[in-house]
Amino acid sequence: MTKIVSAKLVKTDLEKATVTRVAGQSQESSSTASMETVPADFIDGDFSEEDDSQDDDCWGKLFPLGQSFTAIELNKDEYTFGRGENCDVPFIAPTKKHPYFQAYSKVHFKLIRQKTSTGFHIFLEDTSGNGTFINGEKVGKGNKQVLGNNDEVSLAVKKNKAYMFLDHNANEDTSLPKEIREKYTLTKTLGRGACGEVKLAFAKGSCERFAVKIISKKKFSIGGKSQVNLSKQVMTEVNILKSLKHPGIIRIEDVIDTPDTLYIVLEVVDGGELFDKVVSIGQYDEPTAKLLFYQMVLACKYLHDQGITHRDLKPENILLATDSNETLIKVTDFGLSKFVDAGSIMKTFCGTPTYLAPEILLTAGSGAYTNSIDCWSLGVILFICLAGYPPFSDERKDMDLPKQITGAH
């Protein structure tokens, strides 16, 4: 497997195909952080600090998630949204061709603020023919549904996200440092990991979206036996991210350091993880797998040229810029990475077992190994893309996982 993946992959026809099919996305990524699952600009127009201000009667805000939508301060008790000119919020035809704009109704949905026995509540009424969705669930024409803080509204199809609702009456997280609250509005949780959680954030003044990785510096136990201070590990990750500039590597935008917590502001990509994509489609056809894999190889080569070995390459750490099968990929999660000098070796045992190279297992992580371990992991990822399942699995009853890997069975 290692020999196959380590073989020369850059060929003229593949190079031309990749440049033709990905160059446009790469350029867009540098300016908009590849933010939407629809092939369109993120936000129309500019924003100033004044746009982010709110009056005393403002009860909520809609943050834009898709093409031609802008931030809206909500202060009336009822709003209509749609293609009709008489709507309170008319949808403007995008300058670029949009696959769903013609599916919007003249009055697509209404937002209604009502006072009830339990206080004020916000309702979304679906008045469309093709549907309005809240967090991916269709409301249905003529139906009403409560709209809660951080809920996402999609139009016509659930993946065509338009707005995220921010309820100004929701309790603000006062535990967030002033540096964060002054620059960003943190909303829903995107995911959680061993070191902390990732939240979706909007930059104040521009409404540009980011993912904020919140990492605690406090000590925690591993296996309940030893205490480990994360500060050095976290700062290693930050320094690595800061030093990388490549369209196939997730980009760091900002770092806010506090005594107890580190906030790493990263670009957002909306296509999800490669792992989830393979699960949803079953497997990739060979040309598409070749396109995605070529990008992974380029990103990995870039890391190796910088003296960096990822050491935890897996489909969960390959992010997709869009929901399309042919898309720009982003390699992420360098929490287990370290800088290494050319020709030096690494002796730290880490990584996910399914994707670990044989030399790591054979020495229980105490032996000498180089950045070729990433090549093995890339080979496993390629197999998964083409076959739809991993080449090695602990679900096998006839042979344990380490023996499968070391024997390449």
Distance of CA 332 to the CA centre of its chain: 9
Half-sphere exposure of 271 (CA within 13 A, CB side): 26
Per residue in 186-223, pLDDT (tens digit) is 888 887 765 578 888 888 767 788 889 887 766 444 44
Q: What single letter denotes the amino acid at residue 212?
A: V
Q: Which residues contact 267 (CB under 8 A, 6 or more apart)?
A: 33, 34, 35, 210, 211, 250, 251, 253, 330
pTM of the model: 0.63
Residue 245 lies in domain: 178-266
Q: Both 262 and 323 in a single domain? A: no
Per residue in 121-164, pLDDT (tens digit) is 899 999 999 999 999 999 999 999 889 888 999 999 988 999 99
Average pLDDT over residues 328-340: 70
Last residue of a domain, one of 243, 266, 289: 266
Which residues are part of the catalytic machinery? 312
Q: Both 319 and 398 in a single domain? A: yes
Q: Both 297 and 248 in a single domain? A: no
Last residue of a domain, one of 266, 281, 313: 266
Number of domains in the chain: 2
Which of 55-69, 121-135, 280-294, 345-359 is least confident?
345-359
Question: With 70 as the cut, is the pLDDT of residue 181 above it?
Answer: yes
d(CA 284, CA 242) in angstroms, rounded, equals 33
Q: Both 260 and 275 in a single domain? A: no
Question: With 70 as the cut, is the pLDDT of residue 23 above it?
Answer: no
d(CA 165, CA 69) in angstroms, rounded, equals 13
Average pLDDT over residues 75-96: 90
Confidence (pLDDT) at 251: 87
Per residue in 371-398, pLDDT (tens digit) is 888 898 899 899 999 999 888 777 777 7
Q: Both 333 and 391 in a single domain? A: yes
Domain of residue 309, CATH code: 1.10.510.10
With bands split at pLDDT 50, 70 and 90, how would you rate the model's confidence at 242?
A: confident
Q: Which residue has the higher pLDDT, 108 or 100?
A: 108
Last residue of a domain, one of 227, 244, 266: 266
Confidence (pLDDT) at 406: 72
Q: Both 203 and 258 in a single domain? A: yes
Confidence (pLDDT) at 368: 65
Q: Which residue has the higher pLDDT, 171 or 360?
A: 360
